[in-house]
Amino acid sequence: MKKGEEAFAEGEVETALKFCEQMIGRGYSGGWELKALILASQGKPQEAHQTLLEHLHLHRAASEGKTLRQAELLHVRLLVRAGLFEQLDEHTLESSVSLENELLGVAADECLKSGFRERGRGYALGLAQLDHDEQDAFWYIREADNIYSQDTTMFKITVGGESTLNGRYTCVPYHVAADDIEAALVFVREVEPVIPDLALVEIRTQNLQAELPHGVYWRGPWISGSGPEIP
């Protein structure tokens, strides 16, 4: 692996690819990863994607259960490292619903680690909107935004509005850090798409906490029929 990386760093692409093939022949996962990175860097995204698909299919043929799931998650990380975001989006859409949430979380995590902050935020936001019980996505969004200020306040609030899921008035508790309540509501509205007319119901507590990055920290369950009647 090291020889292949050194050859690639020195611009010896063909030599690096030969080392990759040797590693692949010996069954080393790093061979597929480095080959995909090299091909992507040479403007060959489809060939890079095909390389990673071969790696995934190999795992699928030899794996079951937990190991197969790990192979799927590794595939997502490798797609991010190679910068193959179009292929990543297609792969995520084609996955099972039960796996989609986990793939989005892994994509967000790997994007942030690899310096693709905006893309990482996008995957995290998709996860937060897709799974109401998801909490880790909020951390990824805060990390991507990286917003701090001396006026940061932790608001513990309840918001409410008509839910598109059942047409009933629905309340949701949130913990959000922001400079003021209007900024806090902007963060909440972004991750709560099923209540498009969302409005503030109550500020339960608010405390100045300048050390915290801005964003949502916690979201509670939907509570339907807990507010004013909708005409």
Q: What 3 state SS string does the chain have?
A: CHHHHHHHHCCCHHHHHHHHHHHHHCCCHHHHHHHHHHHHHCCCHHHHHHHHHHHHHHHHHHCCHHHHHHHHHHHHHHHHHCCCHHHHHHHHHHCCHHHHHHHHHHHHHHHHHHCCHHHHHHHHHHHHHHCCCCCHHHHHHHHHHCCCCCCCEEEEEEEEEECCCCCCEEEEEEEEEECCHHHHHHHHHHHCCCCCCCEEEEEEEEEECCCCCCEEEEECCCEECCCCCCC
Q: Does domain 2-141 have CATH number 3.30.1360?
A: no
Identify which has the larger pLDDT, 181 or 21. Answer: 181
Average confidence (pLDDT) over 137-162: 97
Predicted pLDDT of residue 83: 85
Q: pLDDT confidence of 93, banded at 50, 70, 90?
A: low
Least confident window among 56-60, 113-117, 135-139, 189-193: 56-60
The span from the CA of 213 to the CA of 206, in Å, is 15
Predicted pLDDT of residue 76: 85
Predicted pLDDT of residue 230: 41
Predicted pLDDT of residue 216: 98
The span from the CA of 79 to the CA of 72, in Å, is 11
Give CA separation, 82 vs 77, 127, 140, 153, in Å.
9, 22, 20, 39
Q: pLDDT confidence of 231, banded at 50, 70, 90?
A: very low
Over residues 189-198, the pLDDT tens digits come to 999 999 999 9
Mean of the per-residue pLDDT values for the chain?
85
Predicted pLDDT of residue 148: 97
Asked if pLDDT for residue 161 goes beyond 90, the answer is yes
Least confident window among 24-28, 117-121, 144-148: 24-28
Average confidence (pLDDT) over 190-215: 96
Asked if pLDDT for residue 202 goes beyond 90, the answer is yes
Q: pLDDT confidence of 24, banded at 50, 70, 90?
A: confident
Phi and psi at 44, nearest 5°, equal: -125, 65
Least confident window among 68-77, 102-111, 221-230: 221-230
Contact 42, 54 (CB under 8 A): no
Asked if pLDDT for residue 26 goes beyond 60, the answer is yes
Q: pLDDT confidence of 229, banded at 50, 70, 90?
A: very low
Average confidence (pLDDT) over 178-182: 97
Over residues 5-17, the pLDDT tens digits come to 777 777 888 888 8
Contact 82, 47 (CB under 8 A): no
Asked if pLDDT for residue 86 goes beyond 90, the answer is no
